[in-house]
C-alpha cells in the first residue's frame, strides 16, 4: 500500500477543497515516480471524482468518520500562520483604539539602547519631517503640479538609522530642507514617526545666508481625517466574489440566485461611474456565465431539464482512459467548452443554410429551414448535421 501523507485521512479528505485534492494527487504521482513507477492518479473530473480516486488509492473509508475526529493534524506551519494572523488582528485593534483616542500608534517601542546624545537628534529629525509635510500639504492645496518642498524618504531613514547606531558626524541638527527640493506625491514619508523630547531645542547652524528659524515641535497641520483612519477604514472593505462552480448546474444556480448580476453591478461598466479596475480580472468569468444563461433562456426556453439533458454525455471508452468505479457514467460538458462552442456552432449553421435545399431563387429561405428543423433549437440542429464538437 502506498505511503499516505500525514495530513490525509477520512475527515480531511471529505472536507478538502479542489486545490487540496490536486496537491495530494501530485504528491502521490511524485512518490510513485520517485520509486520508479509511473503516474498513478489524474486530476480530471469534478471534486467528488478526485476525492474518490484518492480514497481508492490510499484505501480510505469515507463512510466511517468518527464524529470527534479532527480534520488533519495541526501542522507547525498552520500554527505559525494562525499566530501571525492573530497578532496582526491584535495590532489592528490597538491601532484603531489609539487612533480614535488621538494617541499616536508606534510599532516599535522606545528603545533603551539609544544613547542620550543620539536621542537629542531625534526632535530635529521630527522637525524636518514636519516641515516637509507642511510644505507638501500647502503645495498640494495650491496646485497639483507645483514642486513639493520636502526631504526624500531615503534621507529621513538614513537620519533615523544614524541616530540609532551613532554613525553621525556631529550633534548638529540637519539643515532645514530647501523649498525647491522635489518630492513626488507617491513617495510619502513613513506613517506616524513619533519622537518626543522636551530637553532639547533644535539649533540653527550659523551661515552667511539667511535661514528659517525652526517653529515649535508640534504638528503644523491637523487634518480632519487622519491618514491612519483612512487606512484602518480601507482594511474593512469587503470584496464580493463568485464561489467556484464545478458544473453547469452550479453555474445556472449562480445565475438564478442573482450572484452573476450582482458582481457585474458592483464591478462592471456603468453609465454613472468608471469601471472598477477589478473588472479586467473577472470579466471573462462573468460574461461566460451570462452567455450560458442566455443560451438556456433563448434556445431551451428556460427548460433546465432539457438543457442539462442535452449537455450530458458519456465519455468515449475509445480514448483509452479507464473509468474508476466511483466516477459517474454520464457527465456534463464544462462551462468553458460549451461557451467557446457557440461561435463554431453559429458558423457551421451558416454553412448549412447556404446549401441549395434551403435556397429560394438563390436566397436563403426561412420557411424551408423551419420546415426541416421544426421544433429544434440551434444546438440540436448542430448535432443533427454532425458538426457538434466541444
Is the whole model's pTM more than 0.85, yes or no? no
> How many C-beta atoms lie closer than 10 Å to residue 362's C-beta?
6
pLDDT computed for residue 381 by the predictor? 97
Residue whose grid cell is 505511503: 3
Count of residues making up the chain: 390
**H/E element holding 359?**
strand 359-360
pLDDT computed for residue 180 by the predictor? 42
**At 312, phi and psi to the nearest 5?**
-90, 135
Please provide the DSSP assignment of 83-114 as one string: HHHHHHHHHHHHHHHHHHTT----SSPPPTTS
pLDDT computed for residue 321 by the predictor? 62
DSSP state of 270: B
Under DSSP, is residue 182 helix (H, G, I), strand (E, B) or coil? coil
Q: How many helices (H) and strands (E) does the chain have?
A: 15, 4
- For the chain (390 residues), the mean pLDDT of every run of 10, in chain order, is 84 86 89 86 89 90 67 65 80 81 72 53 59 52 43 58 53 46 42 42 43 47 52 54 86 94 90 85 93 96 96 78 65 94 96 93 92 95 96
pLDDT computed for residue 209 by the predictor? 43
pLDDT computed for residue 223 by the predictor? 45
Residue 187, beta-bridge partner list: none
Cα–Cα distance measured from residue 7 to residue 12, given in angstroms and rounded to the nearest whole number: 7
Tell me how far apart the terminal alpha carbons of the chain are, to the nearest angstrom: 38
Under DSSP, is residue 331 helix (H, G, I), strand (E, B) or coil? strand
The answer to whether residues 310 and 388 touch, using CB atoms and an 8 Å cutoff, is no
Cα–Cα distance measured from residue 323 to residue 380, given in angstroms and rounded to the nearest whole number: 28
Q: Domain extents for the chain?
A: 116-231, 248-310, 334-384
Cα dihedral 191, 196, 200, 205, rounded to 10, equals: 0
**At 36, phi and psi to the nearest 5?**
90, 5
pLDDT computed for residue 311 by the predictor? 96
Amino acid at each position: 500500500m502506498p505511503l499516505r501523507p500525514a495530513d490525509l485521512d477520512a475527515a480531511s479528505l471529505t472536507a478538502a477543497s479542489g486545490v487540496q485534492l490536486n496537491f495530494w494527487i501530485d504528491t502521490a504521482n511524485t512518490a510513485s515516480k520517485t520509486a520508479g513507477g509511473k503516474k498513478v492518479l489524474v486530476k480530471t473530473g469534478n471534486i467528488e471524482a478526485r476525492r474518490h480516486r484518492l480514497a481508492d488509492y490510499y484505501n480510505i473509508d469515507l463512510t466511517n468518520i468518527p464524529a470527534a475526529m479532527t480534520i488533519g493534524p495541526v501542522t507547525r506551519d498552520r500554527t505559525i500562520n494562525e499566530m501571525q494572523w492573530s497578532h496582526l488582528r491584535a495590532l489592528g485593534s490597538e491601532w484603531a483604539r489609539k487612533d480614535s483616542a488621538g494617541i499616536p500608534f508606534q510599532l516599535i517601542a522606545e528603545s533603551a539602547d539609544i544613547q542620550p546624545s543620539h536621542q537629542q537628534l531625534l526632535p530635529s529629525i521630527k522637525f524636518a519631517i514636519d516641515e516637509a509635510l507642511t510644505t507638501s500639504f500647502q503645495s498640494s492645496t495650491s496646485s497639483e503640479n507645483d514642486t513639493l518642498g520636502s526631504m526624500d524618504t531615503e534621507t529621513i531613514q538614513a537620519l533615523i538609522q544614524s541616530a540609532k547606531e551613532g554613525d553621525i558626524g556631529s550633534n548638529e541638527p540637519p539643515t532645514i530642507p530647501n523649498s525647491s527640493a522635489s518630492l513626488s506625491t507617491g513617495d510619502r514619508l513613513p506613517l506616524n514617526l513619533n519622537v518626543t523630547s522636551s530637553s532639547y531645542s533644535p539649533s540653527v547652524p550659523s551661515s552667511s545666508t539667511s535661514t528659517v528659524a525652526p517653529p515649535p515641535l508640534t504638528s503644523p497641520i491637523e487634518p480632519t481625517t487622519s491618514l491612519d483612519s483612512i487606512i484602518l477604514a480601507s482594511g474593512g472593505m469587503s470584496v464580493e466574489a463568485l464561489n467556484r462552480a464545478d458544473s453547469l448546474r452550479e453555474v445556472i444556480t449562480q445565475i438564478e440566485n442573482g450572484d452573476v448580476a450582482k458582481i457585474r453591478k458592483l464591478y462592471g461598466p456603468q453609465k454613472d461611474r468608471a469601471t472598477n479596475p477589478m473588472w479586467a480580472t473577472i470579466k471573462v468569468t462573468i460574461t461566460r456565465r451570462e452567455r450560458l444563461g442566455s443560451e438556456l433562456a433563448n434556445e431551451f426556453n428556460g427548460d433546465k431539464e432539457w438543457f442539462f439533458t442535452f449537455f450530458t454525455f458519456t465519455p468515449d471508452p475509445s480514448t483509452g482512459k479507464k473509468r474508476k468505479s466511483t466516477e459517474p457514467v454520464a457527465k456534463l460538458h464544462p462551462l468553458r467548452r460549451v461557451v467557446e462552442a457557440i461561435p463554431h456552432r453559429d458558423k457551421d449553421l451558416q454553412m448549412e443554410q447556404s446549401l441549395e435545399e434551403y435556397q429560394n431563387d438563390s436566397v436563403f429561405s426561412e420557411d424551408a429551414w423551419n420546415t426541416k428543423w421544426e421544433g429544434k433549437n440551434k444546438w440540436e440542429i448542430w448535432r443533427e448535421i454532425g458538426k457538434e464538437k466541444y
